Amino acid sequence: MIIVLVGPPGAGKGTQARRIADKYGIPQLSTGDMFREKIASGDELGKKIKDIVESGNLVPSEITIQMIVERIKEPDCANGFLLDGFPRNVEQAEGLEKALSEAGKNLDAVVQLDVNDDELVERISGRFTCACCDEGYHDKFKKPAVEDTCDACGAEGQFKRRADDTPEKVKVRLDVYHDQTAPILAYYQSRNLLDQVDGMQDMDKVSEDISAVLDTIAAGDAPKRKNGSNPKI
């Protein structure tokens, strides 16, 4: 299966992407994670994009598309993959479509997580992750069972917060989402690929709703889609 997970910053894409990737045995390709790794490595590209990523704006599509096009040629993507945070504008959606058609592949579904802006600010303000295994946490919604210890890998004192998870940067990122990313919803709806999931629900219920959509597709059936009506953004 080839799946795109789309939603505003803090909607729960990373949280759900990890679960989907585990359940269906496909790699999770997060452009945000890939860019943060490049920045941490301090290579040429990392230096070039650092200020852009930390400001909350989008990295130029040419760079982003090339990075993903190369990544999906890797052997672990042969049986499908989950794109988390890509595409983020129509130019990237077109780049993906071209790359897939050249490889004789098709996108199976675009799952949109719908969450309102006030909730996003709260989710982002409380977000932290384990530096060792990337498990995601939240000050209020998902605390580790033992303080300062990762539930997933047991690492102690290894939690980190993102440089762009500040209230000012969140505002920029939300504006970027509404202006540049939201148009891809109509793009995918017109191709009958869009499935909307209520991302305001608790994490497990969101996972259940996504699985219901993906299980239908995995079984080779057509999911029920509201083709034609305007997507909720």
**Residue 221: CB minimum distance to ligand ADP, A:** 26
**Residue 188: CB minimum distance to ligand ADP, A:** 15
| Buried-state track 123-145, b at ≥16 Cβ within 10 A, e below 16 | bbbbbbbbeeebbbbbeeebeee
Can you tell me the distance from the alpha carbon of 50 to that of 232, in angstroms, rounded to the nearest whole number? 32
Q: 36, 88, 123, 169: which one is catalytic? A: 88
3-state secondary structure of 156: strand
Question: Is 14 one of the binding residues for Zn ion (CB under 5 A)?
Answer: no
- The residues with which 114 forms a beta bridge, in sequence order, are 198
DSSP secondary structure string for all residues of 93-140: HHHHHHHHHHTT----EEEEEE--HHHHHHHHHTEEEETTT--EEETT
Which C-beta is closer to ligand ADP: that of 92 or that of 196? 92
Q: 13, 38, 123, 169: which one is catalytic? A: 13
Q: Which does 64 bind (CB under 5 to 8 A by kind): ligand ADP, Zn ion, none?
A: ligand ADP
**Residue 133: CB minimum distance to Zn ion, A:** 3
Can you tell me the distance from the alpha carbon of 146 to that of 158, in angstroms, rounded to the nearest whole number? 13
Question: Is 95 one of the binding residues for ligand ADP (CB under 6 A)?
Answer: no
Concerning whether 36 is annotated as a catalytic residue, the answer is no
Question: Is 85 one of the binding residues for ligand ADP (CB under 6 A)?
Answer: yes
Question: Is 59 one of the binding residues for ligand ADP (CB under 6 A)?
Answer: yes
List, in order, residues 6 or more apart from 73 with CB less than 8 Å away.
Answer: 103
Q: Which does 130 bind (CB under 5 to 8 A by kind): Zn ion, ligand ADP, none?
A: Zn ion
CB count, 10 Å around CB of 227?
11
Concerning whether 13 is annotated as a catalytic residue, the answer is yes
The values of phi and psi at residue 147, to 5°, are -50, 135
Can you tell me the distance from the alpha carbon of 85 to that of 65, in angstroms, rounded to the nearest whole number? 12
Q: What is the dihedral of CA 165, 131, 71, 35, to 10 degrees?
A: 30
- Interface segment toward ligand ADP; rule CB under 6 A; list 55-63, 95-103, 186-194, 215-223: 55-63
Which C-beta is closer to ligand ADP: that of 7 or that of 231? 7
Q: 23, 50, 162, 225: which one is catalytic? A: 162
**Residue 31: CB minimum distance to Zn ion, A:** 22
Pair 192, 108: CB distance under 8 Å: no
Where in 111-170 is the site for Zn ion (CB under 5 A)? 130, 132-133, 135, 150, 152-153, 155
Catalytic residue numbers read 13, 88, 127, 162, 173
Contact set with ligand ADP (CB under 6 A): 7, 9-15, 31-32, 35, 52-53, 56-59, 64, 85-88, 92, 123, 126-127, 136-138, 141-142, 173, 202-203, 206
